[in-house]
């Protein structure tokens, strides 16, 4: 039985003629540039953040009016093709976050004022929550979904070089190496993502955007990117908080838990955060199974912001203590990646690969917020043919290999020789570019923050009641244990 079930673990499924995995933002931004150039009818972006100064082809020098700034490209497109409907719907970020982003995306309203680009800031979420979906749809024939926003501190290559002058920002400073993953699909799946984006636009503005009447007549798929999968069903899973009479949507949380419980050999996780007790308990249960899967987590060594260090990193430490205790067969590893010189790479991707059959790429973190408080969107692909299983495995091996400075083929060979993914990583990690993430001793304040998940609410109802949050989290854990027992 499929794990992707509309109305339960996903919103809907739709067919894609082609699907591709884009590893790191160089690949994403290059694909976006070509797709925008080919757009004939519409461009619709929903995002957590957006900075029109973001450069799609940075060259190591950032000066005024660079022609590859995404805002300039969009304005020029709107002027050259008045029939092209360009709409950007970006979360109206809270003041502390806006300050950290030089008040972008708020300043982008002035950037696009008087142009053909329709730019809207969306604050239609409960207080304290955010719009975290990252979806770009071109002509309803091509869609991107994943963890990356178009902003000034996102660009990097799979090499994650220690010193890369192209990681430059408008103030001439260079940002840290950063890892992102996006997925790209076409066909009916792209139109389904268009429906999701149009519904977000309706809720934010009250304006109903119709579906395109038919094909645009051109293919916006970037010509330089091969399809990794063909003729596959794509699932879209969401998180939405209960708001203005709409019920909570917890498809991603359900899918995550069921994915872990269904795994046979391997659960591979890349994520910015790792703080959700319900997910940890599902993993702990599988680690206790004699024939359970290996579980590999790749995350950031230390969160880049002081707030996340105070909240998310402390909660993660408690989760790691729990899983170390549960790992009686030695099948759990948590690592953070570094450059060759030892600089920590920011892992911002949100990827799950289960066995060789399920790949998920989206915006949801492995924290409480992404399960019922923020809005999230995720793409899932469940495959069954030998060819497609090889493609999913190759995607995972390529991800692992690029952290180690090896090819995906080298990882595949080592997996066979060492009997699994953990053995392969330990054999290939000669330079120590993947470092274990270890739990740390907590102060009294740290223990309080971690126990009650301060800064990481699971729902609207517990966002200001930490004691209620703790009770709800552990009632969820008990429910999942009952589900596991059948």
Q: Which regions of the chain carry the CATH code 3.30.870.10? A: 12-231, 236-485
CATH superfamily of this structure's domain 236-485: Endonuclease Chain A (3.30.870.10)
Cα three-residue angle 313-317-319, rounded to 5 degrees:
115
Torsion of CA 465, 471, 473, 476, to 10 degrees: -140
What residue spans of 405-465 are helical by DSSP H?
408-418, 421-428, 444-452
Cis check: omega of the bond before 240, within 30 degrees of 0? no
What residue spans of 7-114 are helical by DSSP H?
25-38, 70-80, 95-100, 108-112
Is residue 272 within 8 A of residue 181, CB to CB? The reply is: no
CA dist 157 and 159 (Å) reads 5
State the architecture of 12-231 in CATH terms: 2-Layer Sandwich (3.30)
Is residue 229 within 8 A of residue 381, CB to CB? The reply is: yes
CA distances from 9 to 243, 248, 250, 263, 450 (A): 20, 13, 8, 15, 28
Q: Taking Cα atoms as reference points, which of 426, 54, 15, 425 lies closest to residue 188?
A: 15
Is residue 195 within 8 A of residue 26, CB to CB? The reply is: no
Is residue 91 within 8 A of residue 122, CB to CB? The reply is: yes
Strands 142-146 and 332-337, sheet pairing: unpaired
CA dist 250 and 231 (Å) reads 28
Strands 85-91 and 117-122, sheet pairing: parallel
Q: Give the number of other Cβ atoms within 10 Å of residue 393's Cβ.
A: 21
The 3 state secondary structure assigned to 236-264 is EEEEECCECCECCEEHHHHHHHHHHHHCC
The whole-number pLDDT of residue 83 equals: 95
Strands 332-337 and 294-298, sheet pairing: parallel
Q: Compute mean pLDDT per 10 residues along the chain, 486 residues long, and list them.
A: 93 98 98 97 97 93 85 97 97 81 82 96 94 97 98 97 95 95 98 98 97 85 97 98 95 97 97 96 96 98 88 92 96 98 97 98 97 97 97 98 98 98 98 94 78 84 67 53 51
CA dist 283 and 280 (Å) reads 5
Is residue 343 within 8 A of residue 162, CB to CB? The reply is: yes
CA distances from 40 to 194, 217, 226 (A): 15, 8, 22
Cα 397 to its chain centre, rounded Å, is 18
Q: Tell me the whole-structure pTM to 2 decimals.
A: 0.94
H or E stretch at 402: helix 386-404
CA dist 472 and 299 (Å) reads 26
The whole-number pLDDT of residue 237 equals: 98
Q: Bridge partners of 21?
A: 183
Burial classification of residue 482, based on how many CB atoms lie within 10 Å of its CB (0-12 exposed, 13-18 middle, 19 or more buried): exposed
Residues sharing a CB contact under 8 Å with residue 107, sequence separation 6 or more, in sequence order: none
CA distances from 82 to 23, 74, 89, 116, 449 (A): 33, 12, 19, 7, 52
The whole-number pLDDT of residue 218 equals: 85
Cα 27 to its chain centre, rounded Å, is 15
Q: Taking Cα atoms as reference points, which of 111, 115, 33 lies closest to residue 82?
A: 115
């Amino acid at each position: 039985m499929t794990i992707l079930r509309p109305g339960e673990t996903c919103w809907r499924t739709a067919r894609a003629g082609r699907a591709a995995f884009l590893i790191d933002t160089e690949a994403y931004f290059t694909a976006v540039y070509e797709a925008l150039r080919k757009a004939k009818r519409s461009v619709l972006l929903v995002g957590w953040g957006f900075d029109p100064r973001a450069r799609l082809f940075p060259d190591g020098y950032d000066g005024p009016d660079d022609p590859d700034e995404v805002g300039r490209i969009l304005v020029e497109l709107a002027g050259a093709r008045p029939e092209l409907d360009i709409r950007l719907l970006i979360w109206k970020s809270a003041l502390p976050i806006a300050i950290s982003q030089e008040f972008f995306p708020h300043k982008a309203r002035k950037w696009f004022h008087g142009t053909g680009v329709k730019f809207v800031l969306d604050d239609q979420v409960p207080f304290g929550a955010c719009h975290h979906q990252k979806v770009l749809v071109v002509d309803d024939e091509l869609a991107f979904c994943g963890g990356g926003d178009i902003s000034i501190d996102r660009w990097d290559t799979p090499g994650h070089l220690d010193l890369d002058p192209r990681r430059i920002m408008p103030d001439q400073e260079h940002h840290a190496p950063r890892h992102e993953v996006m997925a790209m699909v076409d066909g009916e799946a792209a139109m389904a993502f268009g429906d999701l984006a149009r519904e977000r636009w309706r809720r934010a503005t009250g304006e109903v955007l119709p579906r395109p009447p038919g094909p645009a007549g051109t293919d916006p798929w970037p010509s330089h990117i091969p399809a990794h999968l063909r003729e596959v069903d794509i699932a879209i899973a969401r998180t939405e908080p209960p708001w203005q009479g709409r019920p909570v949507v917890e498809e991603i949380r359900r899918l995550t838990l069921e994915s872990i419980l269904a795994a046979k050999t391997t659960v591979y996780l890349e994520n910015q955060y790792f703080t959700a007790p319900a997910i940890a308990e599902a993993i702990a249960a599988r680690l206790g199974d004699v024939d359970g899967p290996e579980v590999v987590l790749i995350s950031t060594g230390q969160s880049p912001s002081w707030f996340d260090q105070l909240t998310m990193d402390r909660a993660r430490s408690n989760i790691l203590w729990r899983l170390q205790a549960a790992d009686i067969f030695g099948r759990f590893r948590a690592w953070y990646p570094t450059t060759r010189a030892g600089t920590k790479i920011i892992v911002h991707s949100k990827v799950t690969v289960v066995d060789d059959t399920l790949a998920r790429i989206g915006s949801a973190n492995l924290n409480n917020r992404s399960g019922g408080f923020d809005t999230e969107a995720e793409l899932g692909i469940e495959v069954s043919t030998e060819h497609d299983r090889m493609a999913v495995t190759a995607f995972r091996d390529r991800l692992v290999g690029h952290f180690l400075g090896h090819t995906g083929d080298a990882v595949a060979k080592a997996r066979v020789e060492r009997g699994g993914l953990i053995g392969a990583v330990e054999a290939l990690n000669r330079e120590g570019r993947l470092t274990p993430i270890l739990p740390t001793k907590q102060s009294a304040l740290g223990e309080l923050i971690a126990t009650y998940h301060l800064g990481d609410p699971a729902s609207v109802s517990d966002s200001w009641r930490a004691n209620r949050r703790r009770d709800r989290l552990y009632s969820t854990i008990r429910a999942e244990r009952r589900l596991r027992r059948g």
